[in-house]
A and B are shown apart, each in its own frame.
Chain A
């Protein structure tokens, strides 16, 4: 994607992201002053300008409200998954039944798939290991796998369908 020197696309590819970087800078130095605000804005312009050639196509977040709900569900699930994994670690290893399964994706946006893979790694007893771009599948390792079908159905219902709704 090459745009000419005079357009906003060239100098400021993503204004919201620049603003986010500036706010992040202010939060990181924990000090709200004009000097730091200017420095943050400078970084917010400079970082996207130097790196945007490496970025994938922009993902469109269509609905912010489901995104908020998704993040809440994720937070609760992270808490639950931590406790579940802690319990499994404390029990003797012979009760563990680790296994792999292949998760067929229905999403096709790269950014959405990245989020789904991260979600799978952060939630109960599963880590995503490999993304097969041709077959559009994720290879997932589960710490304790009892029923593949059930695991796949849970991921689809709880995470993939909300993500589809957000990025559609």
Chain B
């Protein structure tokens, strides 16, 4: 057991960030499972997960900055790398799907004919 010595309101803020992040990540994963076709599923990991991970990292940043001496900046780096790489992977997966002519869900507007 590690002892946590910080005021209750700081603990409360950190827990709130962690829980909110976990909730958003859960919704994102739920979307990945239930959205109707490949193209709509692309939206889950690029967005809902960035906020989920972002909130978790803010919680981690606050906790380690308050527990240890000095602020910890590694979490900020993780966020930057995440924001820089998530769109690229989504773009590549989407391109592969287009190349393989995956069908969209019925009712998709302007499905590209290629």
Q: A82-B51, A100-B109, A101-B110 are in contact. Are A141 and B94 (CB under 8 A)?
A: yes
Residues of A close to B39: CB separation below 8 A: 98, 127, 129, 141
Task: Tell me, yes or no, whether B84 is within 8 Å of chain A by CB.
Answer: yes
Task: Tell me, yes or no, whether B108 is within 8 Å of chain A by CB.
Answer: yes
Find out whether the CB atom of A89 lies under 8 angstroms from the CB atom of B31: yes
B 66-100 binary contact with A (CB < 8 Å = 1; else 0)? 00000011101100000110111011001101100
Most interface-central of B30, B109, B112 (chain A CB within 10 A): B109
B 40-61 binary contact with A (CB < 8 Å = 1; else 0)? 1011101110110000000000
Residues of B close to A81: CB separation below 8 A: 47
Task: Tell me, yes or no, whether A90 is within 8 Å of chain B by CB.
Answer: yes
> In the bound complex, what is the Cα–Cα distance between A90 and B26 (angstroms)?
11
Q: A99-B109, A100-B109 are in contact. Are A27 and B74 (CB under 8 A)?
A: yes
Number of interface residues of B (CB under 8 A): 43
> In the bound complex, what is the Cα–Cα distance between A35 and B27 (angstroms)?
44
> In the bound complex, what is the Cα–Cα distance between A47 and B90 (angstroms)?
27
By DSSP majority rule, is chain B's interface helix, strand, loop, or mixed?
helix
Shortest C-beta distance, B19 to chain A (Å), equals 15
Find out whether the CB atom of B40 lies under 8 angstroms from the CB atom of A78: no
Task: Name B108's contact: one of A98, A102, A118, A139 (CB within 8 Å).
Answer: A98
Interface residues of B (CB under 8 A from A): 24, 27-28, 30-31, 34-37, 39-40, 42-44, 46-48, 50-51, 72-74, 76-77, 83-84, 86-88, 90-91, 94-95, 97-98, 104-105, 107-112
Can you name 30 A-B pairs with beta carbons within 8 Å? Answer: A27-B76, A27-B77, A28-B74, A78-B51, A78-B83, A81-B47, A82-B24, A82-B50, A85-B43, A89-B30, A98-B107, A98-B109, A100-B110, A100-B111, A100-B112, A117-B91, A119-B87, A121-B46, A121-B91, A122-B46, A122-B83, A122-B86, A125-B43, A127-B42, A128-B91, A128-B94, A129-B91, A129-B95, A130-B98, A145-B109
Ranked nearest first, the 4 interchain pairs of A and B with the lowest CB-CB distance are A99-B109, A121-B87, A82-B51, A89-B31
List 13 additional A-B contacts (Cβ < 8 Å) besides A100-B108, A101-B109. A78-B47, A89-B28, A97-B109, A98-B104, A98-B109, A99-B110, A117-B87, A122-B47, A125-B43, A127-B42, A139-B98, A143-B40, A148-B110
